[in-house]
Amino acid sequence: MAQPDEVPPTQTPPPPAGSESPPTTNPLPEDEKDPLQKIEELRKMSQADKYKAAFKMLSKDDFNRVHEMPCFRDGFLYGMTGGAVLGALRFLQRGNVMSACNWAVGGTCALALISHEVCLYQRRAQLERINIALRSSFKTNTPNVAPKGRADEFKPSDQSSNQ
Whether residue 146 lies inside any domain: the answer is: no
Specify the number of domains making up the chain.
1
pLDDT, tens digit (0-9, with 9 covering 90-100), for 31-45? 566 777 877 887 888
Q: Residue 18 — left, alpha, or beta (φ > 0 → left; ψ -120 to 50 → alpha)?
A: left
Q: If 0-12 CB within 10 Å is exposed, 13-18 middle and 19+ buried, where does residue 104 land?
A: buried
pLDDT, tens digit (0-9, with 9 covering 90-100), for 52-103? 888 888 888 888 888 888 899 999 999 999 999 999 999 999 999 999 999 9
Whether residue 78 lies inside any domain: the answer is: yes
Q: If 0-12 CB within 10 Å is exposed, 13-18 middle and 19+ buried, where does residue 119 land?
A: middle
Q: Which pLDDT score is estimated for 41?
A: 80
User: Which tops the pLDDT comparison, 161 or 41?
Assistant: 41
Q: Which pLDDT score is estimated for 94?
A: 92
Q: Which pLDDT score is estimated for 127?
A: 93
Task: Write out the residue range of the structural domain in which residue 129 sits.
Answer: 67-140
